[in-house]
Protein backbone atom coordinates (compact mmCIF):
# COMPACT_ATOMS: atom_id res chain seq x y z
CA UNK A 1 0.00 0.00 0.00
CA UNK A 2 2.91 2.35 0.75
CA UNK A 3 4.40 1.71 -2.70
CA UNK A 4 1.01 2.38 -4.27
CA UNK A 5 0.72 5.68 -2.40
CA UNK A 6 4.21 6.66 -3.54
CA UNK A 7 3.21 5.84 -7.10
CA UNK A 8 0.21 8.17 -6.96
CA UNK A 9 2.27 10.92 -5.32
CA UNK A 10 4.89 10.63 -8.07
CA UNK A 11 2.53 12.47 -10.44
CA UNK A 12 2.46 15.41 -8.03
CA UNK A 13 6.26 15.25 -7.90
CA UNK A 14 6.38 15.46 -11.70
CA UNK A 15 4.09 18.50 -11.57
CA UNK A 16 6.31 20.15 -8.94
CA UNK A 17 9.56 19.44 -10.81
CA UNK A 18 8.12 20.78 -14.06
CA UNK A 19 7.59 24.19 -12.43
CA UNK A 20 11.36 24.53 -12.05
CA UNK A 21 12.13 23.71 -15.69
CA UNK A 22 12.83 26.65 -17.95
CA UNK A 23 10.94 26.90 -21.22
CA UNK A 24 7.26 26.33 -21.98
CA UNK A 25 7.81 23.40 -24.34
CA UNK A 26 10.36 21.77 -22.06
CA UNK A 27 7.88 21.81 -19.15
CA UNK A 28 5.21 20.11 -21.24
CA UNK A 29 7.54 17.53 -22.80
CA UNK A 30 8.91 16.58 -19.39
CA UNK A 31 5.42 16.02 -17.99
CA UNK A 32 4.25 14.05 -21.03
CA UNK A 33 7.29 11.75 -21.03
CA UNK A 34 7.29 11.26 -17.25
CA UNK A 35 3.54 10.57 -17.13
CA UNK A 36 3.79 8.19 -20.08
CA UNK A 37 6.48 6.17 -18.32
CA UNK A 38 4.58 6.13 -15.03
CA UNK A 39 1.31 5.06 -16.62
CA UNK A 40 2.53 2.65 -19.28
CA UNK A 41 5.05 0.82 -17.11
CA UNK A 42 2.65 0.49 -14.18
CA UNK A 43 -0.47 -0.53 -16.11
CA UNK A 44 1.05 -2.00 -19.26
CA UNK A 45 3.29 -4.44 -17.43
CA UNK A 46 0.83 -5.37 -14.70
CA UNK A 47 0.31 -8.95 -13.57
CA UNK A 48 -2.79 -10.91 -14.51
CA UNK A 49 -4.22 -10.44 -11.01
CA UNK A 50 -4.07 -6.64 -11.31
CA UNK A 51 -7.41 -5.03 -12.24
CA UNK A 52 -10.53 -7.16 -12.37
CA UNK A 53 -10.82 -7.82 -16.11
CA UNK A 54 -7.13 -8.38 -16.94
CA UNK A 55 -7.15 -12.16 -16.48
CA UNK A 56 -10.55 -12.33 -18.18
CA UNK A 57 -9.28 -10.82 -21.44
CA UNK A 58 -5.99 -12.72 -21.22
CA UNK A 59 -7.82 -16.05 -20.88
CA UNK A 60 -10.17 -15.22 -23.75
CA UNK A 61 -7.26 -14.59 -26.13
CA UNK A 62 -5.26 -17.52 -24.76
CA UNK A 63 -8.07 -19.90 -25.66
CA UNK A 64 -8.05 -18.65 -29.26
CA UNK A 65 -4.28 -18.96 -29.60
CA UNK A 66 -4.37 -22.65 -28.70
CA UNK A 67 -5.66 -23.55 -32.18
CA UNK A 68 -3.70 -23.31 -35.43
CA UNK A 69 -6.93 -22.57 -37.30
CA UNK A 70 -7.03 -19.18 -35.56
CA UNK A 71 -3.85 -18.19 -37.41
CA UNK A 72 -4.94 -19.68 -40.71
CA UNK A 73 -8.29 -17.93 -41.03
CA UNK A 74 -8.83 -14.30 -42.02
CA UNK A 75 -8.86 -11.70 -39.27
CA UNK A 76 -12.20 -10.48 -40.65
CA UNK A 77 -13.98 -13.76 -40.00
CA UNK A 78 -14.11 -14.08 -36.22
CA UNK A 79 -15.99 -16.78 -34.37
CA UNK A 80 -19.70 -15.94 -34.80
CA UNK A 81 -20.41 -17.47 -31.39
CA UNK A 82 -17.97 -15.17 -29.59
CA UNK A 83 -19.77 -12.77 -27.25
CA UNK A 84 -17.38 -9.86 -27.86
CA UNK A 85 -17.94 -7.11 -30.42
CA UNK A 86 -16.75 -7.55 -34.01
CA UNK A 87 -14.27 -4.67 -33.98
CA UNK A 88 -12.53 -5.96 -30.86
CA UNK A 89 -12.31 -9.50 -32.27
CA UNK A 90 -10.78 -8.26 -35.52
CA UNK A 91 -8.33 -6.12 -33.57
CA UNK A 92 -7.02 -8.88 -31.27
CA UNK A 93 -6.80 -11.24 -34.24
CA UNK A 94 -4.73 -8.66 -36.11
CA UNK A 95 -2.42 -8.12 -33.13
CA UNK A 96 -1.71 -11.80 -32.52
CA UNK A 97 -1.39 -12.68 -36.19
CA UNK A 98 0.81 -9.82 -37.36
CA UNK A 99 2.38 -8.14 -34.30
CA UNK A 100 2.89 -10.41 -31.30
CA UNK A 101 1.60 -13.94 -30.85
CA UNK A 102 1.09 -13.85 -27.11
CA UNK A 103 -2.12 -13.36 -25.09
CA UNK A 104 -0.40 -10.68 -23.02
CA UNK A 105 -0.08 -8.55 -26.15
CA UNK A 106 -3.64 -7.27 -25.75
CA UNK A 107 -2.85 -6.03 -22.22
CA UNK A 108 0.36 -4.26 -23.25
CA UNK A 109 -0.95 -2.69 -26.46
CA UNK A 110 -4.23 -1.60 -24.85
CA UNK A 111 -2.30 0.08 -22.04
CA UNK A 112 -0.16 1.89 -24.62
CA UNK A 113 -3.22 3.18 -26.50
CA UNK A 114 -5.08 4.26 -23.35
CA UNK A 115 -1.98 6.06 -22.07
CA UNK A 116 -1.35 7.94 -25.32
CA UNK A 117 -5.03 8.83 -25.81
CA UNK A 118 -5.44 10.28 -22.33
CA UNK A 119 -2.19 12.23 -22.52
CA UNK A 120 -3.28 13.67 -25.87
CA UNK A 121 -6.64 14.64 -24.36
CA UNK A 122 -5.07 16.32 -21.34
CA UNK A 123 -2.31 18.20 -23.18
CA UNK A 124 -4.90 19.67 -25.56
CA UNK A 125 -6.68 21.46 -22.72
CA UNK A 126 -4.07 22.23 -20.06
CA UNK A 127 -0.39 22.77 -19.31
CA UNK A 128 -0.69 21.10 -15.89
CA UNK A 129 -0.54 17.65 -17.45
CA UNK A 130 0.82 15.68 -14.50
CA UNK A 131 -1.57 17.31 -12.03
CA UNK A 132 -4.54 16.56 -14.29
CA UNK A 133 -3.50 12.93 -14.71
CA UNK A 134 -3.20 12.63 -10.93
CA UNK A 135 -6.75 13.91 -10.47
CA UNK A 136 -7.97 11.51 -13.21
CA UNK A 137 -6.31 8.41 -11.72
CA UNK A 138 -9.51 6.93 -10.29
CA UNK A 139 -11.07 7.05 -13.77
CA UNK A 140 -7.91 5.83 -15.50
CA UNK A 141 -7.73 2.76 -13.26
CA UNK A 142 -11.17 1.81 -14.55
CA UNK A 143 -10.22 2.53 -18.17
CA UNK A 144 -7.15 0.29 -18.08
CA UNK A 145 -9.28 -2.59 -16.81
CA UNK A 146 -12.16 -2.26 -19.29
CA UNK A 147 -10.21 -3.16 -22.42
CA UNK A 148 -13.01 -3.16 -24.99
CA UNK A 149 -14.65 -0.03 -23.65
CA UNK A 150 -11.30 1.70 -23.29
CA UNK A 151 -10.91 1.57 -27.08
CA UNK A 152 -14.35 3.12 -27.49
CA UNK A 153 -13.50 5.82 -24.95
CA UNK A 154 -10.22 6.66 -26.71
CA UNK A 155 -12.03 6.96 -30.05
CA UNK A 156 -14.65 9.18 -28.39
CA UNK A 157 -11.86 11.62 -27.41
CA UNK A 158 -10.93 11.97 -31.08
CA UNK A 159 -14.58 12.26 -32.04
CA UNK A 160 -15.10 15.06 -29.52
CA UNK A 161 -12.33 17.07 -31.21
CA UNK A 162 -14.16 16.69 -34.51
CA UNK A 163 -17.45 17.70 -32.93
CA UNK A 164 -15.90 20.92 -31.62
CA UNK A 165 -14.97 21.69 -35.21
CA UNK A 166 -18.56 20.81 -36.22
CA UNK A 167 -17.39 17.95 -38.44
CA UNK A 168 -20.49 15.87 -37.79
CA UNK A 169 -20.01 13.23 -40.48
CA UNK A 170 -16.46 12.40 -39.38
CA UNK A 171 -17.67 12.44 -35.78
CA UNK A 172 -20.29 9.76 -36.47
CA UNK A 173 -17.84 7.68 -38.49
CA UNK A 174 -15.56 7.49 -35.45
CA UNK A 175 -18.47 6.73 -33.14
CA UNK A 176 -19.55 3.94 -35.51
CA UNK A 177 -16.05 2.45 -35.36
CA UNK A 178 -16.05 2.79 -31.56
CA UNK A 179 -19.43 1.02 -31.45
CA UNK A 180 -17.75 -2.05 -32.93
CA UNK A 181 -15.54 -2.19 -29.82
CA UNK A 182 -18.19 -1.49 -27.18
CA UNK A 183 -21.88 -0.76 -27.59
CA UNK A 184 -21.98 1.66 -24.64
CA UNK A 185 -20.52 4.37 -26.89
CA UNK A 186 -24.03 4.74 -28.36
CA UNK A 187 -24.50 7.46 -25.72
CA UNK A 188 -22.07 9.60 -27.73
CA UNK A 189 -24.39 9.38 -30.75
CA UNK A 190 -26.81 11.61 -28.82
CA UNK A 191 -24.24 14.11 -27.60
CA UNK A 192 -24.10 16.30 -30.78
CA UNK A 193 -27.57 17.56 -29.81
CA UNK A 194 -25.80 19.85 -27.35
CA UNK A 195 -24.07 21.58 -30.25
CA UNK A 196 -27.43 23.23 -30.89
CA UNK A 197 -28.47 23.84 -27.26
CA UNK A 198 -27.51 27.19 -25.78
CA UNK A 199 -25.46 26.90 -22.62
CA UNK A 200 -27.42 28.95 -20.11
CA UNK A 201 -28.80 28.63 -16.61
CA UNK A 202 -32.31 27.60 -17.68
CA UNK A 203 -31.13 24.80 -19.96
CA UNK A 204 -28.76 23.47 -17.33
CA UNK A 205 -31.54 23.45 -14.72
CA UNK A 206 -33.88 21.68 -17.15
CA UNK A 207 -31.20 19.05 -17.80
CA UNK A 208 -30.78 18.30 -14.09
CA UNK A 209 -34.55 18.21 -13.54
CA UNK A 210 -34.81 15.66 -16.37
CA UNK A 211 -32.01 13.70 -14.69
CA UNK A 212 -33.89 13.51 -11.40
CA UNK A 213 -37.06 12.38 -13.17
CA UNK A 214 -35.15 9.69 -15.08
CA UNK A 215 -33.46 8.53 -11.87
CA UNK A 216 -36.82 8.10 -10.14
CA UNK A 217 -38.48 6.41 -13.13
CA UNK A 218 -35.47 4.50 -14.48
CA UNK A 219 -36.92 0.98 -14.08
CA UNK A 220 -40.23 1.67 -15.87
CA UNK A 221 -38.32 3.55 -18.60
CA UNK A 222 -35.91 0.67 -19.22
CA UNK A 223 -38.75 -1.84 -19.18
CA UNK A 224 -40.71 0.30 -21.66
CA UNK A 225 -37.67 0.38 -23.96
CA UNK A 226 -37.69 -3.40 -24.08
CA UNK A 227 -34.73 -4.16 -21.82
CA UNK A 228 -36.75 -5.46 -18.87
CA UNK A 229 -35.39 -8.98 -19.23
CA UNK A 230 -31.72 -8.03 -19.39
CA UNK A 231 -29.28 -9.25 -16.74
CA UNK A 232 -28.47 -5.64 -15.82
CA UNK A 233 -32.14 -4.87 -15.19
CA UNK A 234 -32.70 -7.95 -13.05
CA UNK A 235 -29.43 -7.43 -11.17
CA UNK A 236 -30.33 -3.86 -10.25
CA UNK A 237 -33.86 -4.83 -9.23
CA UNK A 238 -32.55 -7.56 -6.93
CA UNK A 239 -30.00 -5.26 -5.30
CA UNK A 240 -30.54 -4.93 -1.57
CA UNK A 241 -27.50 -2.99 -0.36
CA UNK A 242 -27.30 0.77 -0.84
CA UNK A 243 -25.07 1.81 -3.79
CA UNK A 244 -22.46 3.45 -1.58
CA UNK A 245 -19.70 3.45 -4.21
CA UNK A 246 -22.00 5.09 -6.78
CA UNK A 247 -22.96 7.75 -4.23
CA UNK A 248 -19.33 8.45 -3.41
CA UNK A 249 -18.43 8.72 -7.09
CA UNK A 250 -21.31 11.08 -7.87
CA UNK A 251 -20.53 13.22 -4.82
CA UNK A 252 -16.87 13.47 -5.84
CA UNK A 253 -17.68 14.46 -9.41
CA UNK A 254 -20.19 17.08 -8.25
CA UNK A 255 -17.64 18.44 -5.78
CA UNK A 256 -14.91 18.83 -8.42
CA UNK A 257 -17.30 20.36 -10.96
CA UNK A 258 -18.67 22.79 -8.38
CA UNK A 259 -15.13 23.79 -7.38
CA UNK A 260 -14.46 24.74 -11.01
CA UNK A 261 -17.75 26.64 -11.22
CA UNK A 262 -16.96 28.44 -7.94
CA UNK A 263 -13.57 29.56 -9.27
CA UNK A 264 -15.26 30.89 -12.38
CA UNK A 265 -17.89 32.86 -10.46
CA UNK A 266 -15.61 34.08 -7.67
CA UNK A 267 -12.55 35.04 -9.71
CA UNK A 268 -14.10 35.54 -13.16
CA UNK A 269 -11.98 32.79 -14.68
CA UNK A 270 -12.28 31.76 -18.31
CA UNK A 271 -14.40 28.80 -19.29
CA UNK A 272 -13.61 26.05 -21.82
CA UNK A 273 -15.70 25.51 -24.93
CA UNK A 274 -19.45 24.99 -24.30
CA UNK A 275 -19.25 21.36 -25.47
CA UNK A 276 -16.71 20.65 -22.72
CA UNK A 277 -19.11 22.09 -20.17
CA UNK A 278 -22.00 20.05 -21.61
CA UNK A 279 -19.77 16.97 -21.36
CA UNK A 280 -19.24 17.80 -17.68
CA UNK A 281 -22.99 18.15 -17.17
CA UNK A 282 -23.63 14.83 -18.95
CA UNK A 283 -21.03 13.15 -16.75
CA UNK A 284 -22.71 14.48 -13.62
CA UNK A 285 -26.19 13.52 -14.80
CA UNK A 286 -25.21 9.97 -15.73
CA UNK A 287 -23.40 9.58 -12.40
CA UNK A 288 -26.57 10.63 -10.59
CA UNK A 289 -28.69 8.16 -12.60
CA UNK A 290 -26.05 5.51 -11.84
CA UNK A 291 -27.07 5.67 -8.18
CA UNK A 292 -30.48 4.28 -9.18
CA UNK A 293 -29.22 1.96 -11.93
CA UNK A 294 -25.56 1.02 -11.55
CA UNK A 295 -24.92 0.14 -15.19
CA UNK A 296 -25.03 3.83 -16.12
CA UNK A 297 -21.47 4.14 -14.86
CA UNK A 298 -20.40 2.61 -18.19
CA UNK A 299 -22.02 5.55 -19.98
CA UNK A 300 -20.66 8.14 -17.58
CA UNK A 301 -17.07 7.06 -18.28
CA UNK A 302 -17.16 8.83 -21.66
CA UNK A 303 -17.67 12.18 -19.93
CA UNK A 304 -16.03 11.92 -16.50
CA UNK A 305 -12.51 12.98 -17.69
CA UNK A 306 -13.92 16.32 -18.80
CA UNK A 307 -14.93 17.12 -15.21
CA UNK A 308 -11.27 17.18 -14.17
CA UNK A 309 -10.31 19.09 -17.33
CA UNK A 310 -13.02 21.67 -16.55
CA UNK A 311 -11.69 22.20 -13.02
CA UNK A 312 -8.04 22.45 -14.11
CA UNK A 313 -9.00 24.86 -16.91
CA UNK A 314 -10.71 27.26 -14.51
CA UNK A 315 -7.93 26.82 -11.94
CA UNK A 316 -5.22 27.72 -14.45
CA UNK A 317 -7.19 30.76 -15.55
CA UNK A 318 -7.57 31.91 -11.94
CA UNK A 319 -3.90 31.46 -11.07
CA UNK A 320 -2.87 33.34 -14.22
CA UNK A 321 -4.93 36.32 -13.06
CA UNK A 322 -4.29 35.89 -9.31
CA UNK A 323 -0.91 34.12 -8.96
CA UNK A 324 -0.57 34.70 -5.22
CA UNK A 325 -4.14 34.14 -4.09
CA UNK A 326 -4.05 31.63 -1.23
CA UNK A 327 -7.76 30.83 -1.48
CA UNK A 328 -7.34 29.47 -5.01
CA UNK A 329 -4.42 27.28 -3.93
CA UNK A 330 -6.41 26.06 -0.93
CA UNK A 331 -9.22 24.93 -3.21
CA UNK A 332 -6.69 22.98 -5.30
CA UNK A 333 -5.24 21.37 -2.17
CA UNK A 334 -8.72 20.28 -1.05
CA UNK A 335 -9.40 18.79 -4.49
CA UNK A 336 -6.06 16.92 -4.38
CA UNK A 337 -6.82 15.52 -0.93
CA UNK A 338 -10.36 14.52 -1.90
CA UNK A 339 -9.12 12.93 -5.13
CA UNK A 340 -6.50 10.96 -3.20
CA UNK A 341 -9.15 9.73 -0.80
CA UNK A 342 -11.50 8.90 -3.67
CA UNK A 343 -8.84 6.87 -5.46
CA UNK A 344 -7.99 4.96 -2.29
CA UNK A 345 -11.69 4.12 -1.82
CA UNK A 346 -11.70 2.26 -5.13
CA UNK A 347 -10.49 -1.30 -5.47
CA UNK A 348 -6.73 -1.12 -5.36
CA UNK A 349 -5.13 -1.88 -8.73
CA UNK A 350 -2.80 -4.20 -6.86
CA UNK A 351 -5.64 -6.38 -5.62
CA UNK A 352 -7.25 -9.27 -7.42
Indicate the length of the chain as a whole number. Answer: 352
Concatenated DSSP letters of 244-300: HHHHHHHHHHHHHHHHHHHHHHHH------HHHHHHHHHHHHHHHHHHHSGGGHHHH
pLDDT for the residue 349 = 40
Identify the pLDDT of residue 346.
57
**Segment 43-63 mean pLDDT:** 91
Residue 224: pLDDT band (50, 70, 90) is: confident
Query: What pLDDT shows up at residue 345?
Result: 63
Assess whether pLDDT exceeds 80 at residue 233. Answer: no
Residue 80 has pLDDT above 90, yes or no: no
210-239 core/surface letters (b: 16 or more CB in 10 A; e: else): ebeebbeebeeebeeeeeeeeeebeebeee
CA 310/CA 273 separation, integer angstroms: 10
146 conformational bin, left if phi > 0, alpha if psi -120 to 50, beta if neither: beta
Specify the pLDDT at position 231: 73
Q: Is pLDDT at 162 greater than 90 in this prediction?
A: yes
Mean pLDDT of the 137-143 span:
94
The Cα–Cα gap between 176 and 172 comes to 6
Place 352 in a pLDDT band, splitting at 50, 70 and 90: very low
What is the arithmetic mean of pLDDT over 206-223? Answer: 92
Q: What is the mean pLDDT of the chain?
A: 92
pTM: 0.93
- Alpha-carbon distance 345 to 339, whole Å? 10
pLDDT at 3 over 90: no
- For residue 60, give every residue at least 6 positions away whose Cβ sits within 8 Å of its Cβ, in sequence order, or none: 84
User: What are the C-alpha distances in Å from 247 to residues 107, 186, 241, 269?
Assistant: 30, 24, 12, 29
> Using CA atoms, how far apart are residues 135 and 312, in angstroms rounded to an integer?
9
User: Higher confidence at residue 87 or residue 81?
Assistant: 87
Q: What is the largest CA-CA distance in the chain?
A: 66
**Confidence tier at 342 by pLDDT (50, 70, 90):** confident
* Banded pLDDT at 351 (limits 50, 70, 90): very low
At 182, the pLDDT band (50, 70, 90 cuts) reads very high
Please, which residues have CB within 8 angstroms of residue 301's CB and are 6 or more apart in sequence? 139, 142, 143, 146, 149, 153, 184
Distance of CA 281 to the CA centre of its chain: 15
Q: Provide the percentage of residues in the chain whose pLDDT is more than 90.
A: 76
Helix then strand then coil, in percent of the chain rounded to 5, is 75, 0, 25
Mean pLDDT of 60-66: 92
pLDDT at 226 over 70: yes
Name which of 37-41, 44-48, 309-313 the model is least confident about: 44-48
Q: For residue range 85-136, list pLDDT tens digits in order.
A: 999 999 999 999 999 999 999 999 999 999 999 999 999 999 999 999 999 9
Residues 274-287, mean pLDDT to the nearest whole number: 97
Q: Average of pLDDT values for 249-278? A: 94
Amino acid sequence: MLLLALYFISFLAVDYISKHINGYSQKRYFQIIACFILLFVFFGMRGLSVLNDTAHYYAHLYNHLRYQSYFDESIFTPDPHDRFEYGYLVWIHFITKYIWCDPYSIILISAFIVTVANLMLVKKHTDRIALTIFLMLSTLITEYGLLRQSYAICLSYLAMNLLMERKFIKYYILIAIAYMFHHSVIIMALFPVFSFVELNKDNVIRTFIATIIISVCIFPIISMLGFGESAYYEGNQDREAAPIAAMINAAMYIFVAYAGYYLHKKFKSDLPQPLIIWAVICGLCLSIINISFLSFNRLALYFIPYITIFFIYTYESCTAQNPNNKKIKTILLIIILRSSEHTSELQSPCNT
